[in-house]
Amino acid sequence: MSVKYVPEPFRIKMVETIKMLSREEREQKIAEAKYNLFNLKGEDVYIDLLTDSGTNAMSQEQWAGVMRGDEAYAGASSYFKLVESAQDIFGYKYIQPVHQGRAAEKVLFGLLMGKGQYSISNMHFDTTRAHVELSGARAIDCVVPEAANPSLRVPFKGNMDVKRLEQLIKEHGADKVALVIMTITNNSAGGQPVSVQNIRETSEICKKYNIKLCIDAARYAENAYFIKQREPGYENKSIKEIVKEVFSYADMFTMSAKKDTIVNMGGLIGIKEDEKLYQLCKGRTISFEGFITYGGLAGRDLEALSIGLYEGIDENYLKYRIGQMEYLAGRLDDAGIAYQSPVGGHGVFVDAKAMFPQIPYYEFPAQALAVELYKEAGIRTTDIGSYMLGNDPDTGKQLKAEFEFTRLAIPRRVYTQAHIDIMADALIAIKERASAVKGYKITWEPPILRHFQASLEPLK
Ligand SMILES: *Cc1c(COP(=O)(O)O)cnc(C)c1O
């Protein structure tokens, strides 16, 4: 039952040469990298699926915008253009550019939370969790239980478990819950979408207990496309209308613009109407990022971002984008390879627990599959499992992740159908020799966000 590939709604004007090393060279490179794929050189990778973040191909319009970028330190026209575009799409009064998503978290979370408080999210992304913890607060994930079952096909697996959210608020006390964060799409659950209904219900609970709601908006456009496809009542609405409704339920957003706005660097903070909060944000932006009208970005970046905001919500583009995921997922279905299904918006999250039942969570099955994919075809992916989750900040004990996913994150407008076939073929080849694959142990790790830097060693 094969899925048809949705042809690219663009043609190629500029190319970048890539090459595949021999298997012997790849085995040597990954050993030298201490089995951490972040330590590999980009040039030693054939197909780079480490992340869809900042790895997108910009359009001719965006490159033309790069040339038009206004590099004035203060009051650049590119800044005003960006603010106007973002206000138009999200309907928020205040827009602050920053250099990437985690900068938005750093600027905003330090103002909103601290020791003894909690942040509750459908799932915190790793840097989001890190900034909650750096503020002194604690992060609690509250995704619907369906998300933990990779083979269960339900339309909105990224949703907040709203019943549990209310229980958690009562348990900890509403005054201790500093923020509720809705991550759309739910990256850590597999790029799974969140429904409008769920966002509305979450918003109602927040209002009831007087807690602010923040959208972690990295993939708001892919989320809106899924809503249009799957949520009754939204099939005839435009992506822009859906985006506006979704954001109307929250008080603020943080955004990594390196995802759905199809640029290589950038981020945004949006504040619906709280002028006091915006004033405080401006102060911290100046300290951490730079003057408010550039926020750690060059004028040319602001310009490309303001164009990307519109390209990212183009429905023909989104149809091709999600279609690429569905094509790869279809090939895995045919081969009986388990992944977080239905497939999410920005990649395929392969269920490494199902592929390697012999490897326990503390020996990092999803990292093992990531290493195998590099050895097999020069494909670079990442662990979204216990290896990424790390240790409990209070006890130092290895945490057990809900999932052990190896994420094949697909950059936007970069790879073709033939590349996607190579990904599927590599996974099929690994599945055939899966029982012989062993786990890993960590030989060195830093205290926070360890997966970026840790050293590993294969177990005998
Ligand atoms: C990427 C991402 C971030 C962090 O953004 P950066 O631009 O990488 O700093 C935060 N939340 C989510 C959901 C993300 O996907």
How many Cα neighbours within 13 Å face the side chain of 366?
A: 26
Distances, alpha carbon 6 to alpha carbons 12, 210, 217, 416, 420, in Å: 16, 45, 26, 11, 12
The yes-or-no answer on residue 451 being catalytic is yes
Residue 434 lies in a domain: yes
Is residue 287 within 8 Å of 106, Cβ to Cβ?
A: no
Distances, alpha carbon 39 to alpha carbons 29, 380, 451, 454, in Å: 9, 11, 11, 9
Residue 226 lies in a domain: yes
Task: Tell me the CA–centroid distance for residue 125 and ligand 1, in Å.
Answer: 7
CATH number, domain at 370? 3.90.1150.10
Confidence band of 402 (pLDDT split at 50, 70, 90): confident
Q: State the CB neighbour count (10 A cutoff) for residue 39.
A: 16
pLDDT value at 213 more than 70: yes
Q: Is 290 in the same domain as 406?
A: no
Final residue of a domain: which of 311, 339, 361?
311
Q: Report, as an integer, the average pLDDT of 221-231.
A: 98
Q: Is 298 in the same domain as 447?
A: no
For residue 378, give the 3-state DSSP assignment: coil
pLDDT value at 411 more than 90: yes
The yes-or-no answer on residue 362 being catalytic is no
Q: Report, as an integer, the average pLDDT of 88-92.
A: 98
With the most atoms of ligand 1 within 8 angstroms of its CB, the residue from 187, 262, 451 to mutate is: 187
Residue 6 lies in a domain: no
Please provide the average confidence, as pLDDT, over all residues in the chain.
97
- The residue contributing the CA closest to ligand 1 atom 5 is 101
Residue 382 lies in a domain: yes
Q: Is 290 in the same domain as 436?
A: no
Sign (positive or negative) of CA dihedral 283, 284, 288, 293: negative
Residue 11 lies in a domain: no
Final residue of a domain: which of 253, 278, 311?
311
Residue 191 Cβ contacting ligand 1 at under 6 Å: no
Residue 42 lies in a domain: yes
Final residue of a domain: which of 258, 287, 311?
311
Q: Is 275 in the same domain as 233?
A: yes
For 371, the domain range is 23-52+314-458
Residue 15 lies in a domain: no
pLDDT value at 1 more than 80: no
What is the rounded distance in angstroms from the CA atom of residue 185 to the CA atom of residue 346? 9
What is the rounded distance in angstroms from the CA atom of residue 9 to the CA atom of residue 96? 32
Q: Is 168 in the same domain as 197?
A: yes
Q: Is 334 in the same domain as 418?
A: yes
Indicate the DSSP class of residue 314: -
Residue 53 Cβ contacting ligand 1 at under 6 Å: yes
Q: Is 304 in the same domain as 322?
A: no
Q: Is 108 in the same domain as 80?
A: yes
Residue 12 lies in a domain: no
Residue 258 Cβ contacting ligand 1 at under 6 Å: yes
What is the rounded distance in angstroms from the CA atom of residue 126 to the CA atom of residue 129? 5
Q: For position 262, what pLDDT does the model report?
A: 98
Q: Is 113 in the same domain as 176?
A: yes
Q: Report, as an integer, the average pLDDT of 378-383.
A: 97
Q: Report, as an integer, the average pLDDT of 345-363.
A: 97
Q: Is 203 in the same domain as 326?
A: no
pTM of the model: 0.95
The yes-or-no answer on residue 216 being catalytic is yes
* Torsion angle, alpha carbons of 195, 200, 202, 207, to 10: 170
User: Total structural domains in the chain?
Assistant: 2
The yes-or-no answer on residue 218 being catalytic is yes
Q: Is 297 in the same domain as 379?
A: no
Q: For position 403, what pLDDT does the model report?
A: 87
- The residue contributing the CA closest to ligand 1 atom 15 is 218
Share of the chain above pLDDT 70, in %: 100
Q: Is 231 in the same domain as 111?
A: yes
Kindly give the number of the ligand 1 atom that is closest to the alpha carbon of 186: 13
